[in-house]
Amino acid sequence: MEFVPEREGIVKDEKTGELYLPATRRPDGTWRKPRKVKDGYVPQEEVPLYENKGVQWLKNKPTLPPGLNPEEVETLKSTEGQAMSKAAKKNAKRKEKKKQQQQSGSGVAGSGVTEVNLSQTLAATKLSENTQKEDQSSDRAAIEKKIRNLKKKLKQVDDLKAKVDSGELANPEKEQLAKIARRHELVEEIENLELDLED
């Protein structure tokens, strides 16, 4: 009985009876040598991937909950369209009406479309006015918060300057001296923000 190779690329040598993979050409033009192969050889690219027990279990895991009969699921699917809730029926009717209106054409519904567009534009302008008011109030709150923070920093600078002037802090660090030097900038920034609030 002669061996029929499982893979097309495997060739049987007539003289010796050995199986081998014939020489093949590489993309760069060089040749690979023919390789001997044992019976039952499976090339590396055809070897199935290893799956641990967890992966195997997940693949074989039933999709239905335990104890549920698959036949009952089929009957439920077939009767699903018949037993709809009231809300689902209303929604289905609304969808059908929308489809019919879209299919009926723009001739009959043309005048209604302009009315809807006018009402939509009025609603949009009201919304934009409301958002502008909200933005202004949120900007005002942000400016007030920044002013409060700058006033805290100014108070810290004044306290630090008083300590240095009184001699309580004999050797101030570079950062402390830089903080005292920035006092003028803080005062200007607070004044600018207060002017923005007045506007």
pLDDT digits (tens, 9 = 90+) for 77-111: 776 656 567 778 888 888 888 888 888 865 444 44
- Specify the pLDDT at position 1: 34
Q: In the chain, what's the furthest Cα-to-Cα distance?
A: 112
The stretch 175-187 carries a mean pLDDT of 89
- Specify the pLDDT at position 105: 66
pTM over 0.85: no
pLDDT digits (tens, 9 = 90+) for 32-72: 898 888 877 777 777 888 999 999 998 888 888 888 888 88
Helix axes 86-104, 106-166, angle to 10 degrees: 110
The CA dihedral of 128, 132, 137, 139, to the nearest 10 degrees, is 130
Starting at the edge strand found earlier in the chain, the sheet holding 35-37 runs 11-12, 19-21, 35-37
